[in-house]
Amino acid sequence: MPRGDLFPDISPYETGLLPLSPSGAAADGVNHVMYWEQVGNPRGQPVLFLHGGPGAGAGAVHRRFFDPGHWRVVIFDQRGAGRSRPLGELRENTTPHLVRDIETLRRFLGIERWLLFGGSWGSTLALAYAQAHPERVLGCVLRGVFLGRREEVDWFLYGLRRIFPDAWAAFAEHVPPEERDDLLSAYLRRLTDPDPVVHLSAARSWSNFEGMCSTLLPSPELVASFAQDRSALGLARIEAHYFAHDLFLPPEGLLGRMDRIASIPAEIVQGRYDMVCPPATAFALTEAWPRARLTLVPDAGHSALEPGVRTALVSAVERFRRRS
């Protein structure tokens, strides 16, 4: 897939591993360590990239949404994901933990305020962080909006079969027929099974399903990236864990707290044919956010790397640049 509208490949100028647990062993024996990196201009305007999933991790291509001459780009892998460790760890892994981790990273890097950039689950986490710390947020660029509501999770688990019946059949057939009325529980049992044969097989099935539904046109390259063992395990296990706990969001949900960020500007980019996170959610968020601007990409699905979506995201970031 050509990506000429993104900025050129770039390497970090700084990377690190940041301990997240209290000094010494945590009470239940888990010590989370966050991988982080900085890219671009060390004296530039700070922007934080928030990856999807939860559990998907960040990659080199995500550095390319930002002009490296202007932006000080901070990228990190959330608890249990990507290069953070332990991989796929569910203990002490909730949305409030991740919000605190972002603040820990901000203070560690000495950043006062930053722009938030997140898609899919990254949009959820951006909203949760902004609502907890609005004074630290310059603005938001969000893509493929996911609000973590029960109907959105149910759509992913069952509704997608209306559009992708073949992909859903393969997803459902990974578990016995008698367990298919509760796919989430069936998968979570397998994803947390100690036997690698069991949990890796379930992770590949879950991740293949998500990858196959994420683009308007088939993308074998994207599906293959989802199916790699390390990325599949972090994505599937952590995603199922969060889905089983209503994404660890407050009872009133993110829409119930929009008053906290009403004055923060936002750019929302949404694929018209996004089947993983359908456009109705982005519309609901836009209606609740006085300073949000919605860009609907007419020929795209869910993936940030589809041509129209990536172009719209780069343009949205550039509009924030011109405001500074």
Residue with tokens 């994404």: 247
| 245 part of the active site | no
The verdict on whether omega for the bond into residue 176 sits within 30 degrees of 0, i.e. cis, is: no
Edge-to-edge strand list for the sheet holding 71-76? 14-19, 33-40, 71-76, 45-50, 114-119, 137-143, 266-271, 292-297
Helix axes of 183-191 and 150-157: crossing angle, nearest 10 degrees: 80
Bridge partners, residue 72, by sequence: 40, 46
Please provide residue 204's backbone torsions phi and psi, each rounded to the nearest 5 degrees. Answer: -65, -40
* Residue 109 neighbours by CB distance under 10 Å: 17
SS3 73: strand
Catalytic residue among 62, 77, 101, 120: 120
| 120 part of the active site | yes
Catalytic residue among 32, 62, 241, 302: 302
Catalytic residue among 77, 84, 274, 303: 274
The verdict on whether omega for the bond into residue 265 sits within 30 degrees of 0, i.e. cis, is: no
Task: Give 226: exposed, middle or buried? Use CB within 10 Å, 0-12, 13-18, 19+.
Answer: buried
**How far from 51 is each of 69, 73, 122, 140, 181, CA to CA, in Å?**
22, 13, 5, 14, 30
Please provide residue 24's backbone torsions phi and psi, each rounded to the nearest 5 degrees. Answer: 80, 180
| 302 part of the active site | yes
- On whether the CB atoms of residues 238 and 188 are closer than 8 A, the answer is no
* Residue 259 neighbours by CB distance under 10 Å: 9
The catalytic residue positions are 120, 274, 302
